[in-house]
Homo-oligomer: A and B are copies of this chain.
Amino acid sequence: MFTSDDLKPMLEPNAVAIIGASGDKTKISYKPIANLKEVGYQGEVYLVNPKYEEILGFPCYQKIEELPEYIDLALICVAAKSVLSIIKQLHAKKVKSILIFSSGFTEIGGEGAKLEEEIREYSKGNHLPICGPNSLGLFNLNKQMIASFSSLKACDAAAIAFVTQSGAMGSLTHTLATEMGIGFQAFVSSGNESTVDFFEYIDYFAKSPDIKVIGGYLEGARNITKMNRAIKASYENNKPIVLMKVGTSVIGADAASSHTASLAGNAKIYQSYFAANNVVLVDDEEELIDTLSLFHYAKNISKDGGAVIVTQSGGAGIMMADQCERKGMKFATLKAETKERLSQTLPAFASIKNPVDMTAQVNQNPQQILDTLSVLVEAIEVQTIVLYIQMTDHLFTPIIDKLSKLIKQANKPVVVCWSGIQEETKKAVFKEKSIPWIPTPTRTINALAHVVNYYTAEKQAYDQTRKEIRKQTPMIVNEKLNEWEGKQLLQSIGIKVPKGSFVRNQEGLHEHSLPFPLVLKGVSKEITHKSDYQLVQTNINSQQELLQFYEGMINRIKHHHIEHLIEGMMIEEMADEGIEVIIGAINDPTFGPTIMFGIGGVFTEVLEDVVFLPAPITESQALQMIASIKAFPLLNGVRGKPKSDIKELALTIQTLSEFCLSHQGEWREMEFNPILVHKEGNGVTAVDAVIVGKKQAEIYS
């Protein structure tokens, strides 16, 4: 794992070398030289190519050996097969970091993958940070430095860093951002990530004082430890991370894994994990830029109050009010005094309740816009202001500087949505560097909702101490456990199961001392869905009925010819009523042991109302998981129904997450469905248990 000190030479280099630099303008290896020249890089630049003595005024050496010993970053653009030997030579010259543009590695498989593995080993052995291979490059405009073979144009940079696993999508995002008037200050195309990975760059920028917000295009994470570290750093330094995560579909994931050899992974786990850690996930390219822009301009977002929409068109107000509701944004109810002040400012036919409709009248008197905003800036019930404008440009341009001043002085965010703005006006707005601008109503609210939700989220103490969990079982899970064994295990770690008795034959039925009504179940490692064979009989009210039902079940077992699959029968107390939930556990290749929680019974798979979170899970995380499913109102009490025992449910999730971790390597998957959550104070009962041991899983796979 690389530290900020390790990566500083790569991301803020004072001396750069370009290996394989060309003076031929048609060659790809000419471009990095031109880029550095054009952007006005103030550090030292050394080129290596036996054919030239200098290019664009930078000295060119015959060999790497001739380079000075203080190079921070060396750029490599030579054929894949030569890369490793060049890295070795550069390391000998004490070069501190390397950027490989060359492709032909893991992304083509076979021989290429082998070459990259050798580079990875070398980098690891020598603790040498390498960006790429197959990187589009990186830049840091704070250092006036562009290290890329692509046409990444410098721009008026905002305090935004952007990291991308796709060079093309990265450069697209950079272009879109520039068009929106908020260029990136720092940019890294991480390429194949042979050594430094996506979240190591994020970690760097989270700790970098120049950066306020971090964006990224993510196909998949390679290492949960690095991801955790980066997210922790962003939490501690109060820097939002805004990601577009792709590769969520089957075809997309397939394409992603062939693309940069990333693991696209389970989209649901990413979603839940990011939500739990206040990492912002966006839906598309424009939402990514819009959100970064509003985070860049965001300030003083209070937890109280709500958004107010100011328009000169009823239609836009309606549209934005709708979108606020969809995105869960609070809408301000204007106080009487605020309305009174607005009524003094606006014409009589204006609508002075939220959304405020100033009407097209403001075309005649744009000062009214400023006056309206001033009133709302001072209103304590207003948390954020959205101004929707759609007017002839020349009417508006005279107030741009005043609007800019007003926004700068405001103690809350004021976002401007101006549809149909002309290029000239847009430039004038951008020039102020203070006016957050988004072109359409829906996009404005989508982005603003991310910002407001981020700052008003109940943030968890990231490094929350793990709670003392109930005693752990010494039992080793290795083979598949049948329901009886699974329940014994649950009981041993303090999770309640119905009182019961395991019986091997009819005589066993006479030995129990359980009170009626009872449940009778066939016990089998193999048959997961017992109801398919009617191996579950509930509501048994007497010993006589028990004997009858036992007989009936034996007959069904014989009828289905499944005698060899049945290990015995169990009789159990009927569990008290409760809401059915599911808790499951999987071993995710990226996230490791991961807990699934959701609504139980037949609805689990149909509604996919489940969330995932990597173990260990803290109490507040468990509570958050529970609250985040759609069916949460069922647990929280709807329509006069009692509230369920959410606290005990959270403890159960925690207990299972600890069990999963401490027995990591022994199990492949677990599923407890349903777990009945009783009313508050009455705990939970696991009425089914499926635990698949590693060994068993291996036999089956």
Contact = CB atoms under 8 A, between A and B. Distances in A.
A638 B324 contact: no
A506 to B, nearest CB: 23
B284 A443 contact: yes
Given A419-B175, A607-B631, A630-B607, A255 B321 contact: yes
A94 to B, nearest CB: 33
Interface string A45-63: 0000000000000000000
A442 interface: yes
A283 interface: yes
A259 interface: yes
A654 interface: no
Contacts of A539: 539
Contacts of A641: 602
A316 interface: yes
A255 B419 contact: no
A340 B529 CA distance: 46
Nearest to A178: B420
A503 interface: no
Interface in A629-678: 630-631, 633-634, 638-641
Contacts of A223: none
A176 B640 CA distance: 50
Contacts of A547: none
A168 B316 contact: yes
A166 B607 contact: no
- Which residue, of A311, A357, A606, has the highest number of chain B Cβ atoms within 10 A? A606
A70 interface: no
Contact of A168 (B255, B315, B603): B315
A589 interface: no
Nearest to A250: B325
A322 B633 contact: no
A168 B313 CA distance: 6
Given A246-B315, A255-B317, A259-B315, A176 B324 contact: no
A351 interface: yes
Given A169-B315, A260-B314, A313-B168, A324 B606 contact: no
A258 B357 CA distance: 11
Contacts of A698: none
Nearest to A333: B251
B167 A252 contact: no
Contacts of A325: 248-252
Which of A260, A316, A321 has the largest count of B CB atoms less than 10 A from its CB?
Answer: A321
Contacts of A249: 321-322, 324-326
B108 A349 contact: yes
A302 to B, nearest CB: 20
A219 B317 CA distance: 12
A50 to B, nearest CB: 26
Interface in A158-188: 164-172, 175-176
A248 B539 CA distance: 47
Contacts of A485: none
Interface in A539-557: 539, 541
Contacts of A315: 164-170, 217, 219, 246, 259
Interface string A279-319: 00001111000000000000000000000000111111111
Interface in A133-180: 151, 164-172, 175-176
Interface in A382-423: 390, 392, 419-420
27 contacts: A104-B349, A151-B392, A166-B314, A166-B315, A166-B318, A168-B315, A169-B315, A169-B319, A170-B315, A172-B316, A172-B420, A175-B420, A217-B315, A247-B318, A247-B322, A249-B324, A251-B321, A251-B354, A255-B317, A283-B442, A284-B441, A285-B319, A285-B441, A286-B440, A602-B641, A605-B638, A606-B630
Given A176-B419, A249-B324, 20 more contacts: A108-B349, A165-B315, A166-B316, A168-B311, A168-B314, A168-B360, A169-B315, A176-B440, A217-B315, A248-B322, A248-B326, A250-B325, A255-B351, A256-B314, A258-B314, A259-B317, A285-B442, A602-B634, A603-B634, A606-B634
